Every structure is written in structure tokens, then in C-alpha cells.
């Protein structure tokens, strides 16, 4: 029973995008590991920008400064 947890910041990911992630991850695990897709669990957890940080600062503050992970 594969279990995959995807954590991302809460920034307007749509229901359709989440479905694409769930399907894509499930298909990948099925193709690569030959696992039954009916037994593959994918969880998407959205995290508030205030609750996620890198480089010693909250992502909410970094966004206000116009900084993203690839710019720091």
C-alpha cells in the first residue's frame, strides 16, 4: 500500500490541479513500482504561508519581499 504525501503552500491550487497530481503520482507508482492503483493513497496537504519557511523566514514574508525559493 503506497502512501504519498504532497505538501505545498496554500496559494490557489485548484481542485483540477490536485486531481492531476493525484492521478499523475498514482500512475507513476503503478508504472515504476507495479503497484495496484486501487491501493495507492495520495494525500495533499496545503500549508499556510505563515506556517512554512526557509532561509530563516516565513514564506509569507518572503513573498511580500518578492522572493521565491528559486530567487533566494
Q: Model confidence over 35-49: pLDDT tens digits?
A: 999 999 999 999 999
Residue 68 is predicted with a pLDDT of: 76
CA distance 9 to 60: 10
Which phi and psi (to 5°) does residue 29 adopt?
A: -65, -40
Residue tagged active-site, from 1, 2, 36, 62: 2
**pLDDT tens-place string over residues 43-70:** 999 999 999 999 899 999 999 998 876 6
Q: Known catalytic residue: 2? A: yes
Four-residue CA torsion sign, 8, 12, 15, 21: negative
* H or E element at residue 43: strand 41-47
pTM: 0.83
Q: Where are the domains of the chain?
A: 3-64
Which CATH architecture group holds 3-64?
A: 2-Layer Sandwich (3.30)
Residue 32, classified by CB atoms within 10 Å of its CB into exposed (0-12), middle (13-18) or buried (19+), is exposed
Amino acid at each position: 500500500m503506497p502512501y504519498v504525501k504532497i505538501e505545498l503552500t496554500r496559494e490557489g491550487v485548484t481542485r483540477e490541479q490536485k486531481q492531476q497530481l493525484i492521478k499523475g503520482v498514482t500512475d507513476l507508482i503503478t508504472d515504476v513500482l507495479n503497484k495496484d492503483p486501487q491501493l495507492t493513497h495520495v494525500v495533499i496537504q496545503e500549508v499556510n504561508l505563515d506556517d512554512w519557511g526557509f532561509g530563516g523566514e516565513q514564506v509569507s514574508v518572503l513573498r511580500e519581499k518578492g522572493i521565491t525559493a528559486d530567487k533566494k
